[in-house]
Amino acid sequence: MSGVFDFLSDSAHWSGSDGIPNRLLEHLQYSFGALLFVLLIALPLGLFVGHTGRGALGIAGVANALRALPTFGLLVFVVILLSGYLPGDFAYLGPSLLVLVILGVPAVLANTYAGVQSVDLAARDAARGMGMTGWQVLWRVEVPNALPLIISGVRSSILQIVATATIAAYVSLGGLGRFIIDGLSQRDYAQMASGAVLVAALALVLDLLLALLQRLVVSRGVTGRFETGGADAVPIDARKLTASVAASSDEGV
């Protein structure tokens, strides 16, 4: 571990295209780039299936099948399959990003669907009874109630993406995984372990930030967390019906 400290405190490793800041930036770019596409695909689809109940079986099947699919194998397969058709740097970057998106989708999709699906029927009924349209029920009742599950789906998804982006260094992607792969080929354990520490730290920080976001954006009506707290806090079940409708009206979400 002292080798790791030496590696990380060496100023030569903190500049240039293969320095730590640039590798970190690359890793963040790949991860959030992939996450953007994941959200664009998985959120609307998950909301649609959850709201209408159509295609629910398909979602469960896809999510399970993708868990069994070896991520590393998929990555290598897609790179070999597509790299011949793509020009220059994009030959490796494109396929890798595609795999990051494929692997990131199931968690958000399944959780969004499950979140909307698990909203109390009585709350939905109440919303309809108040005269809300289908869209209003979706945006003002179902989404706020499903938000904790949706965000935990995003958390799983970003962890999967960060981990796979690390492995993708093997198929010539940049990012923090480079330290691990290059260190291995140069028989430099200090470099490998430093890369591993940085990747683990990145994953932990991103997860904590999203946990914080979850606390900030989820309505207190849903979590049952109130500022007065203590004995006055009412557990979620008891006031689910009123809370979910109230959550849509006051102070935004």
Partner 1 sequence: MIDFLRNRPEDVIAWTWAHIWLSVLPVVIGLAIALPIGWLAARFRWTYPPLTNLAGLLYTIPSLALFVLMPAFIGTKILSPVNVVVALTIYTVALLVRVVADGLNAVPADVRAAATAIGYTGFQRFLRVELPIAVPVITAGLRVAAVSNVSLVSVAALIGVAQLGSLFTEGFQRDVMGVVLLGILLCLALALVLDATILLISRWLTPWRRAVAAR
Residue ranges binding partner 1 (CB under 8 A)? 1, 4, 67-74, 76-77, 79-81, 159, 162-163, 166-167, 170-171, 177, 180-181, 184, 189, 192-193, 195-197, 199-200, 203-204, 207
Identity of the residue, 236 or 246, whose beta carbon is nearer to partner 1 in the bound complex: 236
Torsion sign (Cα): 230, 234, 235, 236: negative
Identity of the residue, 236 or 241, whose beta carbon is nearer to partner 1 in the bound complex: 236
Q: Which amino acid is at 16?
A: G
Minimal distance in Å, beta carbon 35 to partner 1? 15
Identity of the residue, 132 or 180, whose beta carbon is nearer to partner 1 in the bound complex: 180
Q: Count of residues for the chain? A: 253
* Environment class of 27 (CB within 10 Å of its CB; exposed 0-12, middle 13-18, buried 19+): buried
Identity of the residue, 112 or 166, whose beta carbon is nearer to partner 1 in the bound complex: 166
240 CB-near residues (< 8 Å, 6+ apart)? 120, 122, 123
Using CA atoms, how far residue 50 sits from 26, 43, 104, 221, 247, in Å, is: 35, 10, 19, 21, 19
Minimal distance in Å, beta carbon 248 to partner 1? 30
Minimal distance in Å, beta carbon 183 to partner 1? 8
Identity of the residue, 93 or 123, whose beta carbon is nearer to partner 1 in the bound complex: 93
Identity of the residue, 40 or 204, whose beta carbon is nearer to partner 1 in the bound complex: 204
Torsion sign (Cα): 124, 130, 136, 140: negative
Closest CA to 78 of 99, 58, 63: 99
Minimal distance in Å, beta carbon 128 to partner 1? 32
71 close to 164: Cβ distance less than 8 angstroms: yes
Minimal distance in Å, beta carbon 15 to partner 1? 23
Distance CA 51, CA 5 (A): 51
Minimal distance in Å, beta carbon 79 to partner 1? 7
